[in-house]
Amino acid sequence: MRAWMKRGLAFAGVAAGAAVAVVACENKAEQQFTKPQGPAAGGASLGASGSLKDLMAARGLSEADVEAAVKTYVPTGKLDEYMIFASGGQSGQVLVMGVPSMRLLKVIGVFTPEPWQGYGYGGESDRVIAEGAQGTHKITWADVHHPNLSETKGDYDGKFLFVNDKANGRVAVVDLEDFMTKQIVANPLVASDHGGAFVTPNTDYVIETSQYPAPLGREYAPLSEYKEKYRGLAMFWKFDREKGRIDVAKSFGIELPPYTQDLADAGKLVSDGWVFINSFNTEMATGGTLQGKPPIESGASQNDMDYLHIIDWKKAEQVVLAGKTDTIKGIRVISLKTAGEESILTLVGEPKSPHGCDVTPDGKDIVVGGKLDTHGTVYEFEKIKNLIAQKKYESRDPYGVGILPFKESIRGQVEIGLGPLHTVFDDKGFAYTSVFLESVVAKWNLKDLKVVEKLKVHYNIGHIMAAEGDTVSPDGKYVVAMNKMSIDRFAPVGPLYPQNFQLIDVNAPSMRLLYDAPIGIGEPHYSQMIKTDKLKPIKMYKTGTNPYTGKIDPNAVEGGKERIVRNGKKVEVFMTAIRSHFVPDQLELEEGDEVTMHITNLEQAEDQTHGFTINMYNIDLSLEPGKHENITFKADMPGVYPMYCTEFCSALHLEMAGYMLVKPKK
Ligand code: CUK
Ligand code: CUA
């Protein structure tokens, strides 16, 4: 036996770090490469590259570039100050990134499988994904728009993340203890959603409001009956913090008029108990381009005003408790009639094609942008509340819902520029609005509603996000422009360009662009940024834990108690994984056997993950230290199948393998 092999074996039972070190020491080139780390002492020169000035000249960098580099560089071993949870768009996933480095740390599988995490490949996660089924077709994608962090007293608490799927009307719960998706709730009432997944200040409810109106419950009705049968919905999913799950039985919806509800935000502090939703297409246009009718695009842009929806959810809760609800597809729904009569729903005008709906950190104002307007409109909650209390409606809509007088509901309007969309806030009383048509971030003063500065972004910004931006106490410091296009920015990768997150320093008196981060998974819409130290994820599971119950699995396997139990056609395998072998490592099956495998990773060392796959059976698990997984499959393909570990876990990782043999029927 060669020396390295002996050493490798000796280390097979200790931490991977040590084992890897052994391998690295064998590699002379690597040793040399890793030695001269970091800048030379004194900091004036950059190693062999000469002085900083020379380096700048050689690379064509300006002082501003170097400043930006210094502000975003996170040296080895240091952590990013903030973390971003960004929509992965059509991927149905969530991207986790560090700020200021903008490094990608993780891609969380949410609505769609994520192979590295073994999410959706034979293990327990299959059930979570299956629970999110809508209709009878297999849905293998999602349109993730707004990931939102759980809050306590209006502050991100770092415990959970909620994610919506606009396309298929679904909401998911990610547990930030292990950054895994634990629940997908499919809304049986809506045909699509958008205003979600926002939370109330103590995460009592996760809000999901519909986008394109359709009959509630998705029954058929012709477009000629749009006004009578099509509806919107504001869904209030009750969140059970203890269980870490949405409690569907305690949830309720509020029927809305068939105006296309858009973005939503929950009130906070003074406006706690209320939810605001902007809308467009109050014209109720349904298109008909082939019949010579205007497309929805122009049909929906006829009126000067659409409606901001104001929802009193505390009152709605009372009405639900009093039993004044209908039940549609098993969900309790407050009818539009009741919502209007009880002032649970009130409307107020919003200028042309509104988009974005953002409550200020003090909860006093609501900012709404306008895609075809140059203004941001700032509604004053106090005024709205008084008008509702006095029932001072200007008129009622065709469904009997009270409409408040616009002028008396606002604090003012801020002249922002062409196409203001979304607004976020800092700690110094400034608001930052994304301006789509102008491709700028506009910074304005919440006090006097005056723009103080505009920063060009490249190009066409959609959402904007700020450090702790949706809380009662934003941090300022950083704002990120989430741009839809990236012309002239990155090396070409074909006609589908990356999206571009541009990190902006908002700490200095004037805004400064720091970093372009191309996003190769899209299209991201919104994201939230939380202080890294608020997140307290676990480092490993207690041995035998099933992450989907949070408990030791009843079939968890102890070392030494591995076994194969056959009962007719049913075969149960109790397996363990530890560096660098599976016990048992030979499965001898008959064609047609119904197999259940229980696999426990016995490791209790940090980052000591094993993978497990059975070739051709689409089985792929990630077994983090302590994790237990259960898989069920039918051995219906006779043949020889290697089973192996898919994570480079130790020097003898390649040897962490075995065979599944499926003997053909005679
Ligand atoms: S939306 Cu995409 S840019 Cu879904 Cu929040 Cu405005
Ligand atoms: Cu276990 Cu590789």
CATH homologous superfamily for the domain 545-663: Cupredoxins -  blue copper proteins (2.60.40.420)
Positions of CATH 2.60.40.420 in the chain: 545-663
Please indicate whether residue 411, judged by its CB atom, sits closer than 6 Å to ligand 2.
Answer: no
pLDDT digits (tens, 9 = 90+) for 406-421: 999 999 999 999 999 9
The pLDDT score that the predictor gives to residue 49 is 55
The pLDDT score that the predictor gives to residue 42 is 41
How far apart (Å, rounded) are the C-alpha atoms in residues 237 and 163? 12
The pLDDT score that the predictor gives to residue 5 is 41
Query: How far, in Å, from the CA of 563 to the mean position of ligand 1?
Result: 52
Query: How far, in Å, from the CA of 647 to the mean position of ligand 2?
Result: 5
Query: How far, in Å, from the CA of 462 to the mean position of ligand 1?
Result: 6
- Average pLDDT score over residue span 37-53: 54
Please indicate whether residue 649, judged by its CB atom, sits closer than 6 Å to ligand 2.
Answer: yes
pLDDT digits (tens, 9 = 90+) for 474-499: 999 999 999 999 999 999 999 999 99
- For the beta carbon of residue 524, count every other beta carbon within 10 angstroms: 26
- Average pLDDT score over residue span 25-50: 43
Query: How far, in Å, from the CA of 145 to the mean position of ligand 1?
Result: 6
Residue 31 reports pLDDT greater than 90: no
Please indicate whether residue 651, judged by its CB atom, sits closer than 6 Å to ligand 2.
Answer: no
CATH of span 82-284+293-534: 2.130.10.10
Kindly identify the ligand whose nearest atom is closest to the C-alpha of 578: 2
pLDDT digits (tens, 9 = 90+) for 408-454: 999 999 999 999 999 999 999 999 999 999 999 999 999 999 999 99
Query: How far, in Å, from the CA of 44 to the mean position of ligand 1?
Result: 45
Alpha helices per DSSP H over 97-248: 125-131, 226-229
Residue 455 reports pLDDT greater than 80: yes
Residue 458 reports pLDDT greater than 50: yes
Q: Closest Cα to atom 1, ligand 2: which residue?
A: 610
Amino acid at 177: E
Please indicate whether residue 364, judged by its CB atom, sits closer than 6 Å to ligand 1.
Answer: no
* CA 598, 599, 604, 608 torsion-angle sign: negative
402-428 core/surface letters (b: 16 or more CB in 10 A; e: else): bbbebeebbbebbebbebbbbbbbbee
pLDDT band at 48 (very low <50, low <70, confident <90, very high): very low
pLDDT digits (tens, 9 = 90+) for 87-139: 999 999 999 999 999 999 999 999 999 999 999 999 999 999 999 999 999 99
* CA 336, 340, 342, 348 torsion-angle sign: positive
Of 279-288, 321-330, 531-540, which range is least confident?
279-288
Please indicate whether residue 180, judged by its CB atom, sits closer than 6 Å to ligand 1.
Answer: no
Q: What is the three-class DSSP state of 291?
A: helix
Residue 608 reports pLDDT greater than 70: yes
Query: How far, in Å, from the CA of 136 to the mean position of ligand 2?
Result: 38
Positions of CATH 2.130.10.10 in the chain: 82-284+293-534
565-597 core/surface letters (b: 16 or more CB in 10 A; e: else): eeeeeebbbbbbbbbbbbbeeebebbeebbbeb
Please indicate whether residue 645, judged by its CB atom, sits closer than 6 Å to ligand 2.
Answer: yes
* pTM attached to this predicted model: 0.92
